[in-house]
Structure formats: structure tokens, C-alpha cells
Amino acid sequence: MKVLVIGSGGREHAIVDTLAQNKTIEKMYAAPGNGGMREVAELVPVPADDVGVLLDFARRERIDLTFVGPEVPLSLGVVDVFRKAGLKIVGPTAGQARLESSKSFAKQFFRTHGIPTADFRECATASDAYRLLEDARFPVVLKADGLAAGKGVTIAATRDEARDAVKRVMEDKSLGEAGSKLLVEEFLDGEEASFHVFADGTDFQPMVVSQDHKRRFDGDAGPNTGGMGATSTNDILSPELRKRVIDTIIRPTLDGAKTFGGILYAGLMLTAAGPKIIEYNVRFGDPETQVILPRLKTDLLDILWDMAEHRLASRSLEWQDAPAAAVTLVVKEYPGKVPAGKRISGLADAKQVPGVRIYHAGTRFEDGHYYTNGGRVLNVTATGTTLSQALDRAYAAAAMIEFEGKDYRKDIGQKGLARWK
């Protein structure tokens, strides 16, 4: 069997690494992949958004199953193109991917289907946004309508901060066309959680719950990023709250989306009034995947085949009870413009820490060495009998790895530790 995974981040490395545990896979490819993924997959030098070339490759190599990691190729219709060509691929269609690719579409969808979410207003121009902010209650949340790699959200505590965000996004075009429309949302107070499900167009199976750490610096300070670390434990949601999320958010979404297939990831805010949806992603989260998949006992390839064949309901998923934690190592300038080409050392020693897996994100391999090749460089993931042990292991391994400008948050999982106490 030949499998193709599209993408190049830590999420895709975790997916490839998990799939590699299935020995029926004859050959695995990653397009374009990264330095670490070369250990378990052949790298294909094709950008993830070059749908036509990806199709040609899949045909030529007779790929049996393709899995799409990032959001951009999904929004471009890679699933539609592959299916039209008669190739098996797991993921939502371009129309279904609008749940992520357009915040405006998603919020209107929530309103239509009675899914609890924050109140919001849409702004088509900067003038509209400035006018709306005059009467807004602060803090407010401003979101670029389009895809922005996790950097399109601003939580503004004051009117001046909000106006600065409007100018940056809508007038200065810092996010390009993604910021051509802006949503101004009610600020929701509470704890965040990431709720993923596998869906096959008819049925779905929930995964273990995780928590991302989006802000750049300790204490949830600084700008939003693609993710600075994550944890996954069984106590994030009680059984009653988990059922409420499924009944009031997940089922109404899948009923409304009709025939949605792929990964559905609900970003939740656990408010005093109950769980509310912040936003949807239509693919695995990053770095949430890096703490979810190490806890999966059921074979991932079997699950993906079930999704492709619309028989997901026939399988009962098994998960490890062991908590997992991931610490993201970044270049200090991240999420701004970052230098590349810094040599990485200490990986072999870090891998020897019990329970540790290292997932590459922004790396390349050259002349026998790994080098930085992006802002988020590595995800150091560990499992343990307790969350405290998982975090200790992840941080111990993170300290062993070196590259010029290395930085990471030192407070990943602190909210989770408070629950364990």
C-alpha cells in the first residue's frame, strides 16, 4: 500500500510517524515534508498548495490513500480534484472547508443552526470597523475573515488596540486578502479546549480533548501564534460537559454541513453559561495533533480507511489514559520574520528521555545535519503517568536541544496542573 501525506509541519510529522507504525504500508510519501519526516517517508518536493502537480504525482505513483494535513490545499479543493480523478483521499471538500476558510461563513452557519457562539458583527471596510468600535464594549476580539495561519486574531483590551488592529489588517493589508473582511466579536471569558472528531460523511468518532497555548509568551502574553505548546488529559472535560459539546455543537454542525468527511476540530470556550464554539478548523490542529496521536491506540491507517469507505461507526476507538504534553521550540523572532539555516544539535540525546517524541516543523536536513527552516522549529512531546511527569519529560528534552535563537514558553500546562491538584 502507498500513502501520501500532504503538508510540512509538526502536525504532518506526527501523522506520518503514527501511520508508520502500520507495517502494511509499503511506501509513504510526504509532500513537501520536512527534515524530520525523511526518517519515515520519502519527501516529494511539491508545495502543499500545488493541487495539479500533487494529482499528477498521486496518479503516477499509484497512491492508494492520500491524507491532507493543512488548511490551504483543502480550501483550494484538493479533495474535490482527487475524487474526480477516482483517487481515495481523506478530507472535506472545498465547500465544506469554508467552515475554516471563511470566518464570516462559519459565524453565519452557527447562527443558522443554533450553535452557541459569541455575538459578532461583520465589517466590509475599515470605516465600518472604526464606526463599530466607537460603541463596543472592551475587550473585543477582531478576526480576519480568511486563512491567516493562526495569526488573524487580535484580542483588543482597549479601543486604541482595536483601531491599531483594524489599520494593520484592513488598511496596511498585513494579512493580504485574508483581512479584506473583519469580524468584531464579543469577548468570551473562560478556559479554551480543542475538541477533534473523525467524520466520514455519515458518522463521527470523537478524539481525546486537548488544550493549545496560542499566545507567544508566558502568562498568555503577546500576539497569537500558530501554537506554542499543548496538553491532552482526560480531565479537561467532564463526561457531562463532553456530552453537552457533542449534543449542542458537534452534532448540529455535522447535521448542518451534510456529508462532511475528514477531521473536524472545534475550538471551544468553556464559559460560565456552557461551552461555546470560537471557531472551526477542518483539519487536525497544530500542535494539538502532537499530543492527541501519541495517545491513540487504534491504528490510524485503519481509521482513515474507515473514513474513506464511510464505515467509521463500525469501529470503537481506543485511547491511552496517559497524559501528553508538547513544548514548541521556536526562533526568538517568531511570529515575525525569522532567519533560517541555524544548525540544530542535541536531538539524539533528547530522544532518549523516556516517553519523548520529537516532531519536526520548520527544519531541513542537509549534509548530515538538521537546520532551522521556519519560525516554529520543533515540537517536543512526552507522555507520562501524570501530566506533571509528561511536562517534566518534555521540558527536560527541550533543554537538551540547541540552535541559535532558540526560545519556548516555560508555562505550558499550568492550568492543567492546577486541575490535577
Residue-level pLDDT at 116: 96
**pLDDT tens digit string along 115-160?**
999 999 999 999 999 999 998 889 999 999 888 776 788 889 999 9
Phi-psi region of 74 (alpha: psi -120 to 50; beta: other; left: phi over 0): alpha
Q: Is residue 101 part of a domain?
A: no
What is the average pLDDT across 362-386? Answer: 97
Place of cell 540552535: 403
Same domain, 176 and 195: no
Tell me, yes or no, whether 282 and 328 share the same domain.
Answer: no
Predicted TM-score (pTM) of this structure: 0.92
CA nearest 92: which of 215, 259, 250, 228? 259
* For residue 204, pLDDT beyond 70: yes
> 196 and 174 in one domain?
no
Is residue 131 packed enough to be buried (19+ CB in 10 Å), middle (13-18) or exposed (0-12)? exposed
| Eight-state DSSP code of residue 342 | P
In DSSP terms, which residues pair with 381 in a beta bridge?
326, 357
| 176 DSSP assignment | G
Both 198 and 263 in one domain: the answer is: yes
With residue 261 as reference, give the H or E element that holds it. Answer: strand 261-271
The answer on 232 and 295 residing in a single domain is yes
The answer to whether position 108 is within a domain reads no
Q: Helices (DSSP H) in 310-381: which residue ranges?
A: 347-350
Cell 473514513 belongs to which residue?
307
Band of residue 421 on the pLDDT scale cut at 50, 70, 90: low
Residues 210 and 287 in one domain: yes
Which residue in 3, 58, 40, 57 sits closest to 25, CA to CA? 3
Last residue of a domain, one of 68, 91, 114: 91
- 3-state per-residue secondary structure call for 32-68: ECCCHHHHCCEECCCCCCCHHHHHHHHHHCCCCEEEE
Domain finish residue from 113, 148, 180 = 180
C-alpha cell at 95: 465547500
Decide: residue 195, CB within 10 A, 0-12 exposed, 13-18 middle, 19+ buried.
buried
Q: List, for residues 46-83, the tens digit of each pLDDT value.
A: 999 999 999 999 999 999 999 999 999 999 999 999 99
3-state secondary structure (DSSP) of residue 85 = coil
What gap in Å lies between CA 27 and CA 10, rounded to an integer?
A: 20
C-alpha cell at position 119? 455575538
Cα separation, 203 vs 377, whole angstroms: 36
Give the dihedral sign, CA 365/67/268/417: negative
Half-sphere exposure (Cβ direction) of 186: Cα atoms closer than 13 Å: 13
User: Could you tell me the residue range of the domain that residue 275 belongs to?
Assistant: 191-314
CATH number at residue 138: 3.30.1490.20
Rounded to whole angstroms, how far apart are CA atoms 188 and 408?
27
How many domains are contained in the chain?
Answer: 4
* 295 φ/ψ angles, rounded to the nearest 5 degrees: -95, -5
Say yes or no: 259 and 371 in one domain: no
Query: How open is the CA angle 147-382-229, to the nearest 5 degrees?
Result: 30
Does residue 294 lie within any of the structural domains? Answer: yes
Span 9-31, pLDDT tens digits? 999 999 999 999 999 999 999 99
Q: Report the run of H or E that residue 274 belongs to, with start and end.
A: strand 274-281
